[in-house]
């Protein structure tokens, strides 16, 4: 480990050390009001370091490959700092920053552990940022745990029975899925003799691994078992059971963070593992992903219809959106027309996934910030308590309506373009059935999203809730809302960023 | 292809939206809001008439005029342009939107609940429809197509009557379903190798879609687009949302819905189904005519049985929009040469039905406002109480059943002239639909406006000046087009000529 390695992981280190610092400050100072801003300042440092790395990358594909640290360095082979990881690091940082600001009111009403709240958020974000860079199975596993465990603690943070149930469920299901994933990693290591993704890729290509007894199948089983772990994190069917309970019970800002950043980071590592490690057997796992995508979209949307609690509804909605994202991943591969019949990489598929994640982050954060603001006014998350919101808080109602319209995928919002590129990719890769299923699912989803709009605009208001929202929460809401519309009207910049990021992944 | 930025169309499309934002943020007081909304609508009408008036259809005029273009989404993944422009097909429809937009705003004068919101949604709706008619980029077209949903949903569900929320949701779900199919088709067109563009000008030139190695079969693309437009038009059996939406919508929304939103469907079929897939359109012309004739007859028969004034007009729209399909089906000529009469008739029908039905709904809305019922058997003898409204409805009714000298006659004659050469027997059946139209219109007029005067309508007042104004505008349009139809047919002819030229020679 040398200085250059430190530079490479400095954004992650900045976030982690900010977390420690916030907890220490919480111990020392009596007045806690400045803690979120301290956390925010730490994020700005990390952001600055990311910008430096981005500039440094000019021309090169991966900062690690041309290090003077050599093959023996700590980072060698275990982490990559390329445009792909930077894209996700920016995304995670942006989500974390906004969530931190929107948590200010929320946390200040909690009696204890305010410092720990921000500390845990920052630790989890560290794990996510590492996930985006991880190129080696053990590192992936550790980063994944670093992401999950703080979130489990945060889910239980309110210490109400629902919150505790949420935390417990998250912890146990997370533990089971990561155990299964670990087993898959062990299988893969057994058959390929390596935990490095690039070496695994070579081994998978060579005939030797496939000629072992059950070799080809064992590899596939290994991949499937790993998918269990990733599927849990991105909340895809059939690993979605925890989602509605946690969305309902955990603190709302934590849910916002979970639904956006955690999903993005898990998708990042899923893409890296599948596309750099197991691309030679892509045709096998791609069809599996396509089936998972279809199941997630359909089940999520159907289950969301009957919900009366807006956060449970968003839990099912996020399952459906995981499905749309998986459509894009499945569309990253198509059978080549050549005689050998191997898989062919379709960059549009992954471009669309990256774009969709950013679009979804903007829209979902906007929706959740509005939900947080409303629940602070009314103290309720029931959809029926949104009655007449347009009368009580017109701005909030309009912003939440825009977010809901975005989640349906109607222009002029970010997710419209996101769905457009995702379904384009699916059609291009020959998955026309999946594109049509996805489009029909979007139509179905309109039903339950519009129902909320209906309640807000058409039903007479009930009793007034008093307390207002702080300027920082307004700020977070405005920033994410502007991003949501801005990406929808002028998507060029994010599309280009996604293209560049994917370009770095597949040479 | 010409590029550039003349700005006229951009101003026409976005003026109502800018007005909406202005009203939302700056105008205080209900009366001021109404006045500003009317001013915006008048200004936009002037702009649309400028577009229509300055549109040149001389021999050497460009097909698409008033182009506004800049790159909207750069990069490899999407490559879309902000591209507005009108041709002979869309210029009259833009004018129609301006006329009906003003009528809808005037018809909302008496709205007194949530005034600000009402005018905001109405103006946003106008921007969306105007955008649909003037977009020449498929993605931008879809953008505006979807933008119309939320305002319409709000207008029906907040200011409507009866089962308004159910109707609004039904409208929304039907439309979203249709546009979902359309989106798949748009994407498939874009991704087809050798195409790679959303530019409708390029897509509607000979051969672009014919020779390309296709991603989806051309027939599938044709039907995906068609379903989206057919729901909007609406075509039997996809019409069921329309009677509900119309019956329960407030007058202004009914006027916009029947007057211009349905026209988006017909415009889409002409511009995309016929204009981009001429071979497929000719191949499936028999299906279009069949659906059209069923819509005409079925719509007319169901209309006869209606007792609700607005529901009656709504079903008559199904019947009249069927004629659009019959006219488009005229491209299926199997012998002889193809003329543009049928397509011209279909396009004319879009315009004339927009004005006629707009007028019918204005009248029906006034009747409901004054008498608080739309149940026809309860009405009667209203002509003496409200002569202006009765006169307006009578003119609209006569135009609707195709009385010569009024605009409806022109479009129906053109449709039948064109379609008869291709499909004589189905066309004859469709003509029968017009006979039925005479039946339901006259019967409705007789029951509602003539006959015994009812005691309880003794103090019903006639339309006030502000209420009569939109009716007057539409009457002038209907009579004007009826007397001097070539002001429109020449322009439509100019726009349709390149489309007709694409249709492959008839198969013997």
Q: What is the DSSP string of B406-447?
A: SHHHHHHHHHHHHHHHH-HHHHHHHHHHHHHHHHHHHHHHHH
* Cα-based torsion angle of the residue sequence B47, B51, B53, B59 in order, rounded to the nearest 10 degrees: 170
Whether residue A438 is contained in a domain is answered as yes
Token pair, residue A148, equals 């999950």
Question: Please, where are the H alpha helices in A331-393?
Answer: 347-378, 389-392
Taking CA atoms, A62 is separated from A8, A107, A131, A133, in Å, by: 11, 39, 16, 11
Asked if B142 has any chain A CB less than 8 Å from its own CB, the reply is yes
Q: What is the pLDDT along chain A (507 residues), one digit of tens a residue?
A: 677 778 888 899 999 999 999 999 988 887 777 888 889 999 999 999 999 888 887 766 666 654 444 444 456 678 888 888 899 999 999 999 999 998 888 887 777 777 888 999 999 999 999 999 888 899 999 999 999 999 999 998 888 888 889 899 899 998 999 999 999 999 888 888 888 888 888 888 776 656 666 667 778 888 899 998 899 988 888 888 889 989 988 888 999 999 999 999 999 999 999 988 888 888 888 889 999 999 999 999 999 988 899 999 999 999 999 999 999 999 988 877 666 667 888 888 899 999 999 999 999 999 999 998 888 877 788 888 888 888 888 888 889 999 999 999 888 889 998 998 998 889 888 888 898 899 889 888 988 998 898 888 888 877 665 556 788 888 999 999 999 999 988 888 888 888 888 888 865
Report CA dihedral (B104, B106, B111, B115) to the nearest 10 degrees: 90
Give the model's pLDDT for residue B332.
78
Tens-digit pLDDT profile for residues B100-110:
999 999 888 88
**Total domains present in chain A:** 1
Q: What is the pLDDT of residue A210?
A: 62
Q: Which of A331, A431, A443 to mutate to test the interface with B (most CBs of B within 10 A)?
A: A443
Q: Give the pLDDT confidence of B7-22 residue by residue, as tens digits.
A: 888 888 999 999 998 8
Contact between A447 and B169 using a beta-carbon 8 Å cutoff = yes
Which DSSP string corresponds to A380-442?
--BGGGGTTHHHH-HHHHHHHHHHHHHHHT-TTSHHHHHHHHHHHHHHHTT-HHHHHHHHHHH
Would strands B80-86 and B65-73 be described as parallel, antiparallel, or unpaired? Answer: antiparallel
- Is residue B174 in a domain? no
| Beta-carbon separation of B176 and A428 below 8 A | no
Band of residue B128 on the pLDDT scale cut at 50, 70, 90 = very high
Global pTM exceeds 0.90:
no
Q: Identify the DSSP state of B67.
A: E
Please report whether residue A83 resides in a domain: no
State the Cα–Cα distance between residues A295 and A236, nearest whole angstrom. 8
In A, what residues contact B, Cβ < 8 A? Answer: 348, 351-352, 355, 401, 405, 408, 410-412, 416-417, 420-421, 423-424, 427-428, 432, 435-436, 439-440, 442-443, 446-447, 450, 454, 457-458, 490-492, 495-496, 498-499
What is the ipTM for the molecules in this complex?
0.76
CA angle B423, B427, B430 (to 5 degrees): 150
Cβ-defined contact of A495 to B77 (cutoff 8 Å): yes
Q: Provide the shortest C-alpha distance from residue B112 to chain A (in Å).
A: 16
**pLDDT in the model for residue A64:** 65
Residue A120 maps to a domain: no
Chain B residues within an 8 Å CB radius of A496: 74-75
Share of chain B above pLDDT 90, in %: 19
- Residues of chain A with C-beta less than 8 angstroms from the C-beta of B184: 423, 427, 432, 435-436, 439
Mark yes or no for CB contact B77/A443 under 8 Å: no
Q: What is the pLDDT of residues B166-183, one digit of tens each?
A: 888 888 888 888 888 888
For A443, the domain range is: 278-507
Chain centre distance of CA A454: 29
- Residue A306: other Cβ atoms inside 10 A: 10
The band of B508, judged by pLDDT with boundaries at 50, 70 and 90, is: very low
Residue A205 lies in a domain: no
Out of A348, A423, A495, the one facing B73 most closely (by C-beta) is: A495
pLDDT digits (tens, 9 = 90+) for B289-298: 999 999 999 9
Contact A348 B180 (CB under 8 A): no
Q: Coil, strand or helix: which one is A110?
A: coil
Query: Domain containing B425: what range?
Result: 284-508
Residue A465 lies in a domain: yes
The gap between the terminal CA atoms of chain B, to the nearest Å, is 36
On whether residue B46 sits in a domain, the answer given is no
Quickly count helices (H) and strands (E) in chain B. 23, 2
Does the beta-carbon distance from A427 to B157 stay under 8 Å?
Answer: no
Mean pLDDT of chain B: 85
Label residue B186 exposed, middle or buried (CB < 10 Å: 0-12, 13-18, 19+): buried
* B495 close to B418: Cβ distance less than 8 angstroms: no
Residues of chain B positioned with their CB less than 8 A from the CB of A435: 184, 187
What is the helix (H) or strand (E) element at residue A269, kind and residue range? Answer: helix A263-272
Give domain status of residue B161, yes or no: no
In chain B, the number of structural domains is 1
Chain B residues 51-110 within an 8 A CB cutoff of chain A = 72-78
Please report how the helices A347-378 and A263-272 are oriented relative to each other, as an axis angle in degrees rounded to 10. 160
pLDDT of residue A73: 45
Cβ neighbors of B358 (< 8 A, separation 6 or more) are B100, B103, B255, B258, B259, B474
Residue A408 lies in a domain: yes
pLDDT of A15: 93
Q: What is the pLDDT of residue A208?
A: 63
- Strands B80-86 and A333-335, bridge-based pairing: unpaired
Q: Which two tokens stand for residue A465?
A: 């809730």
Which chain A residues are Cβ-neighbours of B172 within 8 angstroms?
446, 450
* Residue B200 domain-assigned (yes or no): no
The residue written with tokens 């299901």 in the block is: A173
């Amino acid at each position: 480990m040398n200085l250059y390695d430190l530079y490479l992981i400095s954004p992650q280190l900045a976030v982690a050390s900010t977390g420690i610092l916030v907890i220490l400050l919480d111990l020392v100072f009596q007045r806690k009001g400045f803690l979120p801003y301290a956390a925010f300042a730490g994020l700005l440092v990390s952001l600055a370091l990311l910008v430096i790395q981005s500039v440094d990358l000019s021309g090169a594909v991966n900062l690690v490959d041309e290090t003077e640290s050599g093959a023996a360095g700590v980072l060698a082979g275990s982490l990559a700092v390329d445009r792909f990881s930077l894209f996700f690091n920016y995304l995670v940082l942006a989500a974390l920053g906004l969530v931190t600001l929107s948590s200010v009111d929320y946390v200040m009403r909690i009696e204890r552990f305010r410092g720990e709240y921000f500390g845990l958020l920052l630790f989890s974000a560290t794990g996510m940022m590492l996930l985006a860079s991880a190129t080696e199975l053990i590192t992936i596993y550790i980063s994944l745990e670093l992401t999950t465990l703080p979130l489990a603690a945060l889910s239980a943070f309110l210490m109400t029975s629902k919150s505790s149930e949420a935390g417990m469920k998250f912890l146990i299901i997370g533990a089971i899925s990561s155990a299964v994933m670990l087993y898959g990693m062990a299988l893969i290591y057994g058959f390929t003799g390596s935990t490095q993704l690039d070496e695994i890729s070579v081994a998978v290509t060579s005939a030797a691994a496939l000629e072992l007894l059950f070799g080809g199948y064992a590899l596939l089983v290994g991949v499937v078992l790993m998918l269990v772990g990733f599927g849990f994190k991105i909340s895809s069917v059939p690993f979605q059971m925890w989602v509605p309970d946690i969305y309902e019970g955990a603190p709302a800002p934590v849910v916002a963070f979970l639904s956006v950043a955690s999903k993005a980071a898990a998708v990042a590592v899923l893409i890296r593992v599948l596309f750099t490690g197991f691309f030679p057997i892509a045709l096998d796992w791609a069809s599996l992903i396509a089936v998972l995508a279809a199941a997630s979209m359909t089940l999520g949307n159907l289950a969301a219809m009957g919900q009366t609690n807006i956060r449970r509804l968003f839990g099912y909605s996020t399952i459906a959106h995981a499905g749309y994202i998986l459509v894009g991943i499945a569309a990253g591969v198509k059978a080549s027309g050549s005689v050998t019949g191997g898989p062919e990489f379709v960059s549009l598929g992954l471009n669309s996934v990256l774009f969709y994640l950013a679009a979804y982050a903007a829209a979902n954060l906007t929706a959740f910030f509005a939900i947080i603001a409303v629940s602070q006014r009314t103290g309720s998350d029931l959809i029926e308590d949104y009655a007449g919101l347009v009368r009580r808080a017109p701005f909030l109602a309009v912003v939440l309506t825009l977010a809901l319209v975005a989640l349906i995928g109607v222009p002029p919002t970010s997710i419209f373009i996101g769905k457009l590129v995702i379904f384009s990719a699916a059609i291009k890769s020959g998955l026309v059935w999946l594109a049509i299923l996805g489009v029909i699912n979007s139509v179905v989803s309109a039903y339950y999203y519009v129902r909320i709009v209906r309640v807000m605009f058409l039903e007479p208001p009930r009793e007034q809730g008093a307390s207002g929202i702080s300027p920082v929460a307004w700020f977070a809401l405005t920033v994410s809302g502007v991003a949501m519309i801005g990406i929808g009207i002028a998507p060029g910049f994010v599309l280009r960023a996604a293209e560049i990021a994917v370009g770095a992944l597949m040479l | 292809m010409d590029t550039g930025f003349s700005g006229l169309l951009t101003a026409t499309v976005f003026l109502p939206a800018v007005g909406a934002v202005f009203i939302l943020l700056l105008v205080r007081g209900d009366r001021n809001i109404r006045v500003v909304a009317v001013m915006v609508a008048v200004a936009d009408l002037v702009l649309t008439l400028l577009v229509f008036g300055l549109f040149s259809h001389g021999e050497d005029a460009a097909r698409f005029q008033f182009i506004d273009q800049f790159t909207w989404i750069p990069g490899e993944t999407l490559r879309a342009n902000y591209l507005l422009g009108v041709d002979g097909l869309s210029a009259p429809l833009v004018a129609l939107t301006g006329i009906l937009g003003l009528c809808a705003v005037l018809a909302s004068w008496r709205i007194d609940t949530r005034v600000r919101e009402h005018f905001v949604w109405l103006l946003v709706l106008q921007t969306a429809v105007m955008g649909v008619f003037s977009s020449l980029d498929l993605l931008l077209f879809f953008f505006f197509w979807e933008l119309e949903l939320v305002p319409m949903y709000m207008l029906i569900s907040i200011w409507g009557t009866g089962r308004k929320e159910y109707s609004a949701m039904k409208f929304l779900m039907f439309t979203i379903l249709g546009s979902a199919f359309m989106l798949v088709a748009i994407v498939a067109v874009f991704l087809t190798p050798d195409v790679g563009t959303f530019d409708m000008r390029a897509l509607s030139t000979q051969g672009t879609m014919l020779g390309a190695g296709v991603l989806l079969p051309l027939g599938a693309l044709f039907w995906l687009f068609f379903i989206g437009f057919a729901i909007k038009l609406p075509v039997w059996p996809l019409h069921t949302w329309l009677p509900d939406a119309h019956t329960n919508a407030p007058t202004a929304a009914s006027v916009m819905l029947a007057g211009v939103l349905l026209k988006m469907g017909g415009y889409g079929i002409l511009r995309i189904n016929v204009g981009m897939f001429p071979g497929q359109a000719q191949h499936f012309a028999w299906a279009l005519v069949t659906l059209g004739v069923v819509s005409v007859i079925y719509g007319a028969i169901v209309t006869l049985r209606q007792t609700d004034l607005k529901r009656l007009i709504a079903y008559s729209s199904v019947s009249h929009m069927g004629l659009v399909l019959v006219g488009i089906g005229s491209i299926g000529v199997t012998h002889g040469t193809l003329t543009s009469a049928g397509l011209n008739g279909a396009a004319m029908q879009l315009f004339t039905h927009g004005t006629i039905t707009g007028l019918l709904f204005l009248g029906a809305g006034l009747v409901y406002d004054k008498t608080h019922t739309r149940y026809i058997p309860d009405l009667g003898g209203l002509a003496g109480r409200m002569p202006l409204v009765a006169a307006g409805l009578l003119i609209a009714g006569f135009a609707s059943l195709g009385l010569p000298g009024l605009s409806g006659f022109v479009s129906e004659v053109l449709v039948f002239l064109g379609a008869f050469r291709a499909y004589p027997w189905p066309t004859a059946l469709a003509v029968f639909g017009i006979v039925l139209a005479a039946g339901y219109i006259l019967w409705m007029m007789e029951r509602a406006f003539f006959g015994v005067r009812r005691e309880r309508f003794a103090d019903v007042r006639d339309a006030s000046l502000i209420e009569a104004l939109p009716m007057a505008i539409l009457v002038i349009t209907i009579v004007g087009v009826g007397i001097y139809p070539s002001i429109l047919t020449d322009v439509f002819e100019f726009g349709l000529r390149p489309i007709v030229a694409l249709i492959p020679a008839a198969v013997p």
